[in-house]
Amino acid sequence: MSELAYVGKSVPRVDAPEKVAGRAVYTLDLQLPKMLFGKLKASEVPHARIKNIDTSRAEKLPGVRLVLTGEDMPEDLVWGVTPVCYDLIPLAREKVRFIGESVAAVVATDEDIAKEALDLIEVEYEDLPAVFDVFEAMREGAPLIHDKYPNNIALTKHMEFGEVERAFDEAAHVSELSTSSSRQAHCCFETHVSIAEWSPNGDLTVYNSSQCPSLSHQYFSKLLHIPESKVRVITNYVGGGFGGKATSKFNIDFLSIIAAKKLGRPVKFYYDREEEFLLGTFRTNQFHTTRIATDKDGILLAREMQMTVDNGAYSDYGPAVGAITAHMGGSLYNFKAYRHHANVVFTNATYGGAMRGIGNAGYSFGTEVAMEHHAREIGMDPAEFRLKNLVKKGDTTIIGAKISSCGVHECVQEAIKRVPWHEARPSSNGAKRGYGLSAAVHFTGARAMGPETAGAFIKVNKDGTVEVLSGTIEMGNGSNTSIAQICAEALGVRVEDVRIINGDTAVNPYGWGTRGSRTTAIDGQATRLAAIEAREMLLRGAAELLECDAKDLDAREGRIFVESAPENSVSHSEAYMKIYNKQGSEAVYATASYDSPSEDPDPVTGYGNWSAAYSFGAKLAEVEVDTETGEVEVIRIISANDCGTVVNPAGAMAQIEGGVLMGVGYAMIEDFAVDEGQPVNPNWLDYKLPTTQDVPALETVLIETESPSGPYGAKGLGEMVQLGTSAAIANAVYDAVGVWITSLPVTPEKVLTALREKEAAGG
């Protein structure tokens, strides 16, 4: 690839000045004229029939304008991410199914009055048996959480290819390991918020903190039975998402809409921090049993995964977790036979959803600890074992994934060469050092989740500056900067002359938003295609001015010039005015729509190339374990990543370092605990997050490959960066002290217990 002007360069973030100066506007900041405020009444029991809700005292409180219960919700206002699992309603009707579920809402002139009114609402419950364990929930006779889901199973996903049982029967070695992950909370600085306003002619405007305003726009139209042309969704800067804002936050979005319609005034609902924990979803916890079969040379023959996902009481992205991981599991290693079976199970607990690497963080922990365990059992170096079996460019995997670019082998090799991998591990004063490896894969947009299209609209101004209207959202991930770089590169203008406009469905093209590691590759490609079209128009004007053929011209950093004589040049503004100031005047607008070249998986078998590109990575953790206390200190994390062509190295490094730290938190301390349905730590005092004092040494390696489907060869990165961190740490603990920690988080108590059990067994 020839030297590029902006792609591949560390460009400062285009949103930095506003954010650093404190001028960036978030939805939580908005105040509309005559706005009212809504608050939610939470259930205090995990499973019960609602016998009666008395709102009379609350309704009489001065300043209260409206009290809503489940009986005020339209009967068909039910939603879920997976169509077979539509079970979410804005306010509980007839039953509550978890502690914290919203049973009533108050709208008042200010928040304090609304909160006071909540205490005046009296709810009479009839307690029902509850179930909190996923395996208990599936047993015959367990309390039924939703009548229409027998055995409390929201979704079963089964994928099977090859002769699985024969492969296990004929294998030289078979291993089996059970693992489990934990609940990780998103902990975004900006909580979920929704403000709704109706115009006198029946137009609806919703301001919400969403990663995907186009999807919210679609949901509101569909569920309210009004034309999409009557709905407008506006999203400002988003104060963090990590997948938790990938769909509308069902109850407060629709409660603000319903209340605003009834009252004729704008209504604002937002979650306080505890509500964010209870209602904002979290990373689902998973339970895995992994069986692996290899031949005498350590070549993989088969892998079987039996997985159970704790869905919680309702279906957000829990069902998608069970399905997506089936595809992920067949995209990293080559197998002769493969089986994935997942049950997504209802329990009387808060419900989980999508979080950075949907399902894949917990799944990759289970599979990569199992891979390490198998390598150790057959006496093979864990890095060698992986390198023998990882996919490579040109492979079509057993599930139909077509690997068009792949740097995973280089990732593994680069990671292990940065430590004394083949040398004895040092120890001193009861502390032992260990190294742990993991590999991972993630998609760049997933056709299994729906259409992977994006649109872009480019308007070139007469002064040569450019506006890009995109379906993306800037939520701290740097997407506006990457899109600006891609536009500047294709159009030949300066990055500082490109302005990204997004977050308004009335003007922006439809897009799936910032999710699924798709933004740079898919929205970026739509932007590039539109920019190329605008560039062709400008080249025609420049050719007239320079008296040459347009095909002899190039554009770079704000000038259009003759390739053979670069001193002969004009500005983009001059080229624009040449085609504008004439009979048959042309304004430079360009649009493009890009459909990612992936396939809809077979609806029965799941076979198919379900993503246009696959990002790969390897993590290597260096830890020190205190054998007297069980304390694990993470000394260093080496993160090697293949994300295709790197558009913005500084941005990529920031993503990687943030993702690795999130992975360290997931591995070591983060767990949203629920005891018999009662949330234990729904606040930032009790829910432990890694701080700057917990940051290990971070070493980042960028492995560049070229993806044929992405702009300038780019593919996704944002989710890949966290994956494998927890497995690498657990594997490093084994390398140091010889005990397997098979559940997250990796706590001193678990390590010390395992060490004592090993000692008692004579190990």
Task: Give the residue numbers marked as catalytic.
Answer: 719
Could you tell me if 207 and 30 are in contact, meaning their C-beta atoms sit under 8 angstroms apart? yes
Residues 29, 25: Cα–Cα separation, whole Å: 6
Sign of CA dihedral 213, 470, 83, 606: negative
| Chain centre distance of CA 447 | 15
Q: Which amino acid type is present at position 237?
A: Y
Secondary structure (DSSP) of 162-213 = S-HHHHHHH-SEEEEEEEE---EE---SSPPEEEEEE-TTS-EEEEE--S-H
Structure tokens at 364: 């990759």
Q: How many CA atoms lie within 13 A of 522 on its CB side?
A: 32
Which residue in the block uniquely carries the two structure tokens 């993470």? 634
Task: Provide the edge-to-edge strand list for the sheet that holds 300-312.
Answer: 153-161, 337-346, 300-312, 286-294, 173-180
Q: Which amino acid type is present at position 729?
A: I
Residue in 120, 122, 124 with CA at minimum distance from that of residue 63:
120
Residues 745, 89: Cα–Cα separation, whole Å: 32
Could you tell me if 667 and 726 are in contact, meaning their C-beta atoms sit under 8 angstroms apart? yes
554 has which bridge partners?
A: 561
Tally Cβ neighbours within 10 Å of residue 373: 21
Structure tokens at 428: 């001193």
- End-to-end, the C-alpha distance of the chain in Å comes to 55
Could you tell me if 494 and 566 are in contact, meaning their C-beta atoms sit under 8 angstroms apart? no
Could you tell me if 211 and 249 are in contact, meaning their C-beta atoms sit under 8 angstroms apart? no
The answer to whether the bond into 748 is cis (omega within 30° of 0) is no
Nearest 5°: phi and psi at 49?
A: -85, 140
Q: How many CA atoms lie within 13 A of 212 on its CB side?
A: 22
Nearest 5°: phi and psi at 753?
A: -60, -45
Residues 234, 502: Cα–Cα separation, whole Å: 9
Residue in 384, 483, 399 with CA at minimum distance from that of residue 441:
399
Sign of CA dihedral 24, 29, 34, 40: positive
